[in-house]
Amino acid sequence: MDFSAFQKRIAKFKKPVCRCMYVSPDGVGCKNPPIKSHSLQKSGALKQIAESGHVLSIQPNFTPQKVDWDFRKIGHSQASTFPGYCKKHDSELFADVEDSYKTFDDRTVALLTLRSISREYFTKLAQIRMWTEDAAQAGFKKSLGENSYEQLIDNAKAAGRELAKAKSIVDKALSDNDFSKIRHVVAFHKEPLPFTFTGAFNPEYTMQEEPILPSADEEWGSIFAFCGNIGDSFVTLLSTVTTIGQGECSKFLDSISGEYSKDRNFWLNLGIEYVENSFFRPSWVAEQSEIKKLLMIEKFRVENSLNGQRAPNCLIDLEIFD
């Protein structure tokens, strides 16, 4: 399978699998079809790192013998898109982190968290569709990496249920203007960052290697991540919904002490290792040595192999910034 065939296959499963994700304060869902919503602001985080209208992402290249990975150009208007919200609600709901942005507050955190949740929820639905079709062709017990299709589908469904619950909680928080169930850690950077990302992950350890386990009802909880500029501020943000998984993910936030929060290497490693939805400024990548570029690609490849994640204490093993 060459790259173009891979793109066509992914595009097939990125078609809308639901209506607009907006839910009104009284619980009524929008019936309009979704547009290609940006999980990262086109006029903000993506524009800030784009050059000649393009950003870079790490993508696979298939050959008959193996799968190679490399940095590939993508138009910044297409980067990070997913069919999430209709045109009306995508514009109105997220106005406070786009054109109407004034100050970084708890509502900003909730809106950035909601975008991450919405994209990840759609991704899980798309994965279930794709793996179900593959399983029907290959048989449920056929292995993919260390996991069978059956395991992958079950895990994706469980994650989807948690994400749907998290979205409902954040939707209500925005409606009630009560953000007490959303915990976060934010850092403001003096210099522009040459990368941006948003997504979700399930930490298994704190930065001090303390295990983070699912709760008794098997809820794990997620960390929602954002890196990019909001207005004139360059921000890195981690958040979690404290009522899911008994708030165990708060342990990960607690472990992000001051020594990490300002460290650009920490955030670069976190984006590459935990968040596939990551994009880079082309000239910054071009400035890196071939060894550093290969290390970034390898780190991304290993952590997106469906074989699990390493402990977060490995996060800063890739030193790119001085």
Secondary structure string (H, E, C) spanning the chain? CCHHHHHHHHHHHCCCCCCCCCECCCCCECCCCCCEEECCCHHHHHHHHCECCEEEEEEEEECCCCEEEEEEEEECCCCCEEECCCHHHHHHHCHHHCCCCCCCCHHHHHHHHHHHHHHHHHHHHHHHHHHHHHHHHHCCCCEECCEEHHHHHHHHHHHHHHHHHHHHHHHHHHHHCCCCCEEEEEEEECCCCCEEEEEEECCCECCCCCECCCCCCCCCCCEEEEEEEECCEEEEEEEEECCCHHHCCHHHHHCCCHHHHCCHHHHHHHHHHHCCCEEECHHHHHHCCHHHHHHHHHHHHHHCCCCCCCCHHHHHHCCCCC
pLDDT given at position 1: 45
pTM for the model stands at 0.88
**What pLDDT sits at residue 204?**
85
Q: pLDDT value at position 314?
A: 54
pLDDT of residue 53: 95
Q: Report the chain (322 residues): mean pLDDT per 10 consecutive residues.
A: 50 64 91 90 91 93 73 92 92 89 94 95 85 69 59 85 95 96 94 94 86 82 93 92 90 83 89 90 97 90 57 68 85
- Predicted confidence at residue 135, as pLDDT, reads 72
Write out pLDDT tens, residues 43-53: 889 999 999 99
pLDDT for res 162: 93
pLDDT at 99: 78
pLDDT tens per residue, range 129-175: 877 877 777 654 454 554 577 887 888 888 899 999 999 999 999 99
Give residue 123's pLDDT: 86
- Return d(Cα 88, Cα 79) in angstroms, integer: 20
Please give the pLDDT value at position 147: 58
Give the pLDDT of residue 142. Answer: 52
